[in-house]
Structure 1
């Protein structure tokens, strides 16, 4: 039998390719993961579609973070309020509980939410299980990432 790592309903997550550590709501009801961005813009590089995005400086320890990534897909996503929007998806590395893996996530404005990131079930598949009565079981994000850290 496969032993899965137990997560709480909220955890610190590192996204090292973006130089980011963020508090995430662990949500088995969400299929995909979502990352809050204050703004985003599309462009082409080498003929391929890319998305640029900006986070902060509110809640990012006073630092503005700008990053860009290739768009791997664009899909309609229905939020918990029933609103459907077309979102850009990117692939990035995620570090959580000693596990590192590539995950897909979409970019959206989560400004009114308590957590800047939503960790969906496809990012947790085959490795993690969730104990909804517990939180932050794996401590803060790795210090080696340095700033910025989104606290929200």
Structure 2
């Protein structure tokens, strides 16, 4: 039925020049799916990332989270243990990053404070440096959740699709550095 609706609406949208429906004229995917493969850089481990338009800030699975002082600045040390989607092996890596900010998350279970750090992910052929709150997501299906601040740079999300592109970031990949980012005020707080 879904395909019949697409087929019925396609001529109307085509006449308006809006016939993307998840694909460009050349057949390359336009919108990302609600789940995509990404690699955590520079580690290169491939993970499943859920694109969540209901979240503002992205989140990454982390364990053994510790804050410490380094030359007068607060840093965060943490372990990322995930299944590498490319190999099927469970792998872990210890990271140390400057604390970007603290985030207070309010939900049904009360409020929780989380550290936020800048991390890099490869999606498609581009590396994105983004804010990630760190939390133990062991009980979640997806170790990485991408919120609206990140999705704003990625483009539209097609909730009927998954895995529309593979992460392929080599040494010549485009890097979207966080300090060059501007936010659309309409993405919310």
Instruction: Give the TM bin, normalised by the shorter chain.
Output: 0.7 to 0.9
Residue 37 of structure 2 corresponds to residue 12 of structure 1: yes
1:41 equivalent in alignment to 2:66: yes
| Aligned residue among 64, 67, 81 for 2:95 | 67
Match of 2:186 in 1: none
User: Is the radius of gyration larger for structure 1 or structure 2?
Assistant: 2
Unaligned runs of 5+ in 2: 1-19, 23-29, 171-189
TM-score when normalising by structure 2: 0.66
Structure with more contact order per residue of length (Cα contacts < 8 Å, sep ≥ 6):
1
What corresponds to 1:102 in structure 2?
129
| Alignment coverage as a number of residue pairs | 140
Q: Distance in 1 between matches of 2:154 and 2:60?
A: 21
Query: Does the CA-based 8 Å contact 1:17-1:92 persist in structure 2?
Result: no
Correspondence for 1:147: none
The 1-side partners of 2:45 and 2:110 are apart by 28
What's the CA shift for 1:18?
A: 4.7
Tell which deviates more after alignment, 6-15 or 81-90. 81-90
Task: Report the TM-score when normalising by structure 1.
Answer: 0.80
Contact 2:115–2:134 at 8 Å: present in 1 too?
A: yes
Match of 1:118 among 125, 139, 145: 145
How much has 1:83 moved relative to structure 2?
3.5
Gaps of 5+ in 1: 145-152
* Distance in 2 between residues matched to 1:125 and 1:40, nearest whole Å: 28
